[in-house]
Amino acid sequence: MSFTVAIDGPAAAGKGTVSRAVATHFGFAHLDTGLLYRAVGAKVMDGADAVEAAQALMAEDLEGDLRAPGVAQAASRVAVDPQVRAALVDFQRAFAARAGGAVLDGRDIGTVICPEAQAKLFVTASAEVRAARRYRELCEAGHEVTPEAVLADVKERDARDSERATAPLKPAEDAVVIDTSEMSIDEAVAAAIAVVAEKRGDRA
């Protein structure tokens, strides 16, 4: 039986951490759909055509370091293109429909990719909190960044992701919004698990 959890939200909101924890808790598979766009963005940085890169994307393209800030910007630029997005739809929907349950995180999972998802979450936080968390992550991963540049990146991508015509970033009407600005990771994870458990009809 399939059960789809859609987790959307702006840049660096903690979707990845929450999604992995939800997937582990319920024994579901997890797909970070941002990686698909990052992989296409990385190929464009290497000179490829965005649409061709999206159409030819393979599993091994998702390996390697796609977390660099430049790749995030390239991802958000290719993500504006409806043809790039269209090329990635089938893979995401097939993943969502797999037996045993799936968690997908991104920008348009609850609105466009899986509008029928049984549980929808919109994980967000203030731009300042998100940028501070991402700054720490990038520093720990050895990237040379400044807090100012990370905040500017987060704000620029949010604006581009929200204002694009195709599949803009926004909560689905039936999404539960979790604002993690004042929450610890454990609190955010617990809130997300509680929503999914309720949608599944689990007993407390």
| Residues engaged in binding ligand CDP (CB under 6 A) | 11-12, 33-34, 37-38, 72, 75-76, 79, 106-108, 157, 161
CB 157, min distance to ligand CDP, A? 4
Of residues 71 and 176, the one with the C-beta less far from ligand CDP: 71
Q: Tell the smallest beta-carbon distance from residue 121 to ligand CDP (Å).
A: 14
Question: Which residue number, 52 or 81, has a Cβ lying nearer to ligand CDP?
Answer: 81
Nearest Cα residue to 117 out of 10, 39, 19: 19
Q: How far is the CB of 82 from ligand CDP (least distance, A)?
A: 11
- If the CB atoms of residues 8 and 101 are measured against ligand CDP, the closer one turns out to be 8
CB 76 to ligand CDP: min, Å: 3
Which CB sits closer to ligand CDP, 162 or 202? 162
As a whole number of angstroms, the distance between CA 29 and CA 114 comes to 15
